[in-house]
Structure 1
Amino acid sequence: MLTLRNLLSVRRQLKKEDHRLRMRIRNGLLAKYFPEMDRHWGSCLTENLAIVRWYLDPRQIAATEFDVFVRHVTTTTRGARQVSRLRKIYNAAEHSIGLPVDDAAR
């Protein structure tokens, strides 16, 4: 029983750390380089992190074809809703007011 409590405690700590890191990415990187992404920050964590990893610079999104962008940031096709969300992010990237991404941010 004690081991189970310890494991639950570790799980709770890891969830807090995961949330803390996601908020640092959202509030630190996205707010600076791609602030328009904040309103499209959805519940799909893997997609959000893929966009940050591959396309933190919105100018890079705008320079990429939409189909290529979708293939890079998704692992599965969930339908029209997912494509619609990604289309909004893609369109927002064209008019982004974020700072240019420097080598340190990459």
Structure 2
Amino acid sequence: MVKRSRRSFSPEFKHDAASLVLDQGYNYAEASRTVDVHENTLRSWVQQLELERGGTTPKSKALTTDQQRIQELEARVNRLEREKSILKKATALLMSDELKSTR
């Protein structure tokens, strides 16, 4: 049995493929043949694009530029919050050491 390698697609490709159904009037079968992906895969991309257009930020890589920007900003906020937490702990540790040495 030959093992088939898993293909990966860019968010732009997924967006364009889903747009065929949502914006250009293709049905799922036509669009899936056009972009050479399984129909169920295309259905999931269309569903994700509909949710993103409705304002929902996906857990996976976003398809729309607005949602991609939101994901980038959320990641940055998370990183900054982790850094802040580390700095708070370090400050508390340094302050406790300083208090011990002044006694």
| Larger-Rg structure | 2
Same fold (TM over 0.5): no
Name the TM-score, length of structure 2 as normaliser: 0.30
Q: Which has the higher contact order (CA 8 A, sep 6+)?
A: 1
Name the TM-score, length of structure 1 as normaliser: 0.29
